[in-house]
Amino acid sequence: MNQQLIDFIQKAKSLSETDLEITSSLLSAGWKQQDISAAFEYVQKNSNVSQNFSTTDEPDPLKVTQPPEEKKAKPNKLTITLFTLGLLFVVTISGFFIYFKFFKKTPLGPNIKDSEEKPYQTSETIGQPNAIESTHSIIAFTTSKKDNPASAVVFYDRQQKEKLPLPQVIQEDNNFMFLLGPWSPSGQYLPILAFTGPATEESYVNLYFYDSQKLEAKKIYSSPRNEENFVWASTSFNFLSAWMDDTRLVVNNVRDPQKESATLTYVTTDGEIKTMQQSDELKRANDQLEHTVTTRPSIHTESITVGSVTLDFVLEGEVVGVVDGMLAVLEKPKSISVIVDDAGNAASPQDLEYFEEEMEKLEKQGLSEEELSKKTLELIEPKGKTILSLYNLKDGKVNREVNLTDGTWQVQSILVHPSEKFLIAHQTDKRHLPSKQRFVVITPSENPNTRTIFEEDLPKSSNPNYLSSLMFQENSFFLSSDGDWIIGMRGSNVDNPQNSTIYMKNIITQEESLICSNNCWDVRTYCPLCLQTVY
């Protein structure tokens, strides 16, 4: 339990700050939701000593992570206190540092630093919420040789721009196929599944946890392929595995709609395999919030918890995250669905009927197979407006809207920057089989604006929509934990494996590094503000 965080919450409460205001401030400063919730719980249980906190000796958790910007809202007691402490800090450093670190604008928008150095994110900084989070620079991916089902795991250091040594225990499985799961909530562990071919008497399964701090891997599970591990010890590991916490990885989820429950199989960091039952629900979370969806035959409910506060208003769209104290929600245009829609639901009879009618018209035109395929893709492309709504966390009203509609450009994913008050959107010129992509900075100020960071052509047969669902697990790109680098993938290893590449690009300098040049798969990097499935 972080005493500094507890002291800050107690102090803010004594100044009549609400839980939501405190939570929003701490989230904006970079603190994790689980740490905030734990601190609130501790404060509530020990309310009789809520006045026993330090007033001047303890540094402010917000001071080292929030640039000293003026606020337009009417200042309250807490704001005045923070301003006073911030002023003492400012007068001790030079005006040159203040200008270039906090106030200088870059072509990307307000407050994007033109230096990679971020003094408020180093492990020595007072009030650092998570040392692993700010120093995590490992990018993991798998690669394979042409016409060879076996693969290899590669660990790449983003800061040093070089490959890391492969742990010996993984090197021993040189004829295995490897699959990567998601990083643990703190970014310490990466699950790696290794197995040999189809389920036969000779096939084997190994599960490792790679430790990003020790740069070592530990084999925590080893077994022949059998009925117990047949489902999860396969290619489904990519999308079935998810963490409960930093010590328990869920590898299988068997749903029982009649009992409205699910049976989870999970593996601990000590190598134990256990099962448990819980309510049947879909939960996604990041360092800022938790979004829970419960679907029953006759009811559909959603709840969003930001810090210690559960929101009581209904949202329309896809939850993105919290930026500048507001909840960002993306509304995408709808497309015709012939199998499943964007939410994974079966296609509606109306969509199927319309699609069949339009296809009959196209077939009567005597088009070639290539032309017919092109027209079919045009038919199912999303059409309509793309709107990013920014909700007030107190009353659920929309504070601001950003219209992202721009011709045929489609938003694939949006991520909140981990240390600045803006978002980054990944767009492609078409939803299906696009030929161009671009990344856009969205600044949710009183007069919201967008600005393109870079735009480029994509290789032929590239399909980020496929990569979004299978390669990136719910996101079409990653942001590094310090927010300086976009990490993405070009090409499709399905259509042309030799076209697939993994790259990282600096959002300020436009510097690009090619991490993997061909036959690249399953890239994973720690992204604390990417919403991921959790249990």
The rounded mean pLDDT for the chain is 75
CA-CA distance, 35 to 31, in Å (whole number)? 7
| pLDDT for res 192 | 95
| Helix axes 369-380 and 349-363, enclosed angle (nearest 10) | 150
Q: Exposed, middle or buried, 388 (CB in 10 Å: 0-12/13-18/19+)?
A: buried
Nearest one of 3, 2, 10, 32 to 78, comparing CA atoms: 10
Instruction: Place 189 in a pLDDT band, splitting at 50, 70 and 90.
Output: very high
Mean pLDDT computed over 103-109: 34
Residue 263 has pLDDT above 80, yes or no: yes
Q: Both tokens of residue 383?
A: 């059409």
| pLDDT for res 175 | 76
More confident residue, 251 or 145: 251
β-pairing, 299-306 vs 449-457, is unpaired
119-123, 130-134, 144-148, 340-344: least confidently modelled range: 119-123
Instruction: Place 410 in a pLDDT band, splitting at 50, 70 and 90.
Output: very high
Nearest one of 117, 97, 115, 96 to 106, comparing CA atoms: 115
pTM > 0.85 = no
331-340, 372-381, 441-450: least confidently modelled range: 331-340
Nearest one of 361, 387, 388, 391 to 376, comparing CA atoms: 361
Residue 26 has pLDDT above 50, yes or no: yes
Q: Are the C-beta atoms of residues 255 and 241 closer than 8 Å to each other?
A: no
| pLDDT for res 391 | 93
Contacts of 181 (CB under 8 A, 6+ apart): 190, 191, 192, 193, 237, 238, 241, 242, 249, 524
Instruction: Place 24 in a pLDDT band, splitting at 50, 70 and 90.
Output: low
Q: How does pLDDT run across 72-92, given as a tens digit for each residue?
A: 333 343 333 333 323 323 322
CA-CA distance, 380 to 427, in Å (whole number)? 17
CA-CA distance, 428 to 444, in Å (whole number)? 22
Residue 50 has pLDDT above 50, yes or no: no
108-112, 160-164, 246-250, 291-295: least confidently modelled range: 108-112
More confident residue, 303 or 23: 303
pLDDT over 70 percentage in the chain: 69
